[in-house]
Structure 1
Amino acid sequence: MNCTYKYPTGYQIMKVFWTKNPVQGKEPPDLSKDPEYSQRLQYLGDEQQNCTIRLSHVTQKDEHMLLLQSVRREDAGRYSCALHEHTYISPAVHLNVMYPPKESFVAVNPSGEIVEGDSVTLSCSSDSNPPAEISWFKRGKFVGSGRIYSISKISSDHSGEYKCKSINKRGEKYSDAVTLNVMYHPKSVSVFINGSPEIVEGDSVTLICSSDSNPPAEISWFKEGTFVGSGRIYSISNISSDYSGEYKCKSRNKHGEKDSDAVTLNVMYPPKTISVSINGSGEIMEGDSVTLICSSDSNPLLLSLYMVCITESFCDWTNIYLLLMS
């Protein structure tokens, strides 16, 4: 009967012996000192790492169990016994070792980039006996059961960490988490104006583009169809009336693009380029009615219209000019 063993470095083996029918709590007997075995038992090993023996003149009294200590899942299988140098082998018996789930893990198909609208399958593998029941969790919340969890037409809402839990009557085990990172084209694109609702010439104004996309989108800015800048933030310092108009941002990634709705910058400024004109032409006669029009460039728009009847007795042009300029 073959026998080998190992022991830690630095220790010394003091005694090696074979025994039979050990009783717990009692010192096991050395078969080599038993009169029934002393003449039939021969040690063939070196008693340091090899403890192989030969037993001669075997009788039915030598029958004994095969005993596995601390049985492991690797011990499962079919077992037979036989004597050395004899051709007869006993009928096999099957050893079925039960154990809790081990080595649970999740595989994702497809394994590459996942785009919104794809079909995705998560498979849970678990080593256990008896076979385990499988449950699926997303961020700790139960989402399904069974070895395979399928998602058809996946959306950005399915992004997140997934785990499977394997459970049988011997125990349970969670797999490591896998992350579904769903790619999608830009959506929910909008522009926010940061600052006072009333924009006055000389102010600083910031336009911010908000976009939901994966991967993050590149942002472009347009004023009434003309490209004016890029980046999530478009800033204008010391704004003038020339910046008034409609602005949009365009959000683009490799899966698509989307424009925001337009926002209008309405820049307020005081009157400038003031001028006076006379309504009508030709010769003006004493007693006629004359219309003087004052126009100016401003926001909000200002337009002054004065009707003056010029007579010989009331004709103070200085006062009329000052009145128009006010």
Structure 2
Amino acid sequence: MNCTYTYPTGYQIMRVFWSKTKVINNVEPPDLSEDPEYSQRLQYLGDKQQICTMRLSHVTLKDSHMYYFRFITDKLDGKWTGDPGVNLTVSDLQVESPERVTEGDSVRLTCKSSCTLTDRATFIWYRNSQPLTERRDRNNELLLQSVRREDAGRYSCAVHGHNHISPAVQINVTYPPRNVSVLITGSGEIVSGDSVTLICSSDSNPPAEINWFKENESSAVGSGQSFSALQSGRFYCQAHNQHGSQRSDAVTVTVHHGAGRNVIVIAATSGGLFIIIIIIIIFIIKKKIINRRSAIHECENDDPKTGTYAALDLKSRSSDLYDTLTTVHPRPDVHQPDSSEYENLSPHSRTPR
């Protein structure tokens, strides 16, 4: 702001400063150089004789105001303020956008300036501080057709050839729930009285409200993001907001009551139920094999003092081979012959040689 001033001969300048107000009720106006909002941006380029030029840097819209130069001399009546002052008008770029944007809408953004632009002025658009396109458009409007959720962000504009970029405006795209699904947490084997926790997840804006249902029942059995299933059945969640709703696939919760307090809970989606059945069959077969091996092991470890023994007799009948497993118990008070006194032991008794 270029400025000059004069004063009567014989006066000596004691103080010079710029202010945004005049003297009111004999109260001196504040010095802008002592104002925290201006102290780092205001620079006085004048002197105490005739020049009163001031420079203001990093100007914003808030700096639009009337500014006054004031000087004080060594005389009681030697105080003056420039009148009418300097009116500073700051022009700026602003992005105008609708307050609410829903997925699928067509949105028009307008880059407006408070100053007069030439017909050759071209505009550059930014989203999240990144140029949207390399091209420059003479039209000061940006049209977003069939808005998607990915179009959400901070939009700003600029005039080509100028360093200034407009303040950014936030585009918030709202949409109905999508990708609604149920997650199962907790162990597959629990103690009686516990429960399986089901968690509903969804993608929506604004966040969706969650209700839980059991198939073939019309009323909700719960609400909120998580639900504790205490009984068998097929459960699903439904997410909804003001733009729509969507339900998840149902999950199956089967509670099998076993001995004592143990309860085995199988929870799976309909697609994964077949895999669980295969795992159960394999488990049963494996358990039978273990039990059979255990029985054979107990037979091999029979106490020899009982006098019980097993012998294998191979005989040929009609050209067929067969095995005979015979258990023989010793007779009381009978001499036990040496094994060499016998040939083969069969179901028929033989006389020793």
User: What TM-score results when the alignment is normalised by the length of structure 2?
Assistant: 0.45
Higher normalized helix content (fraction of residues): 2
When normalised by structure 1's length, the TM-score is 0.48
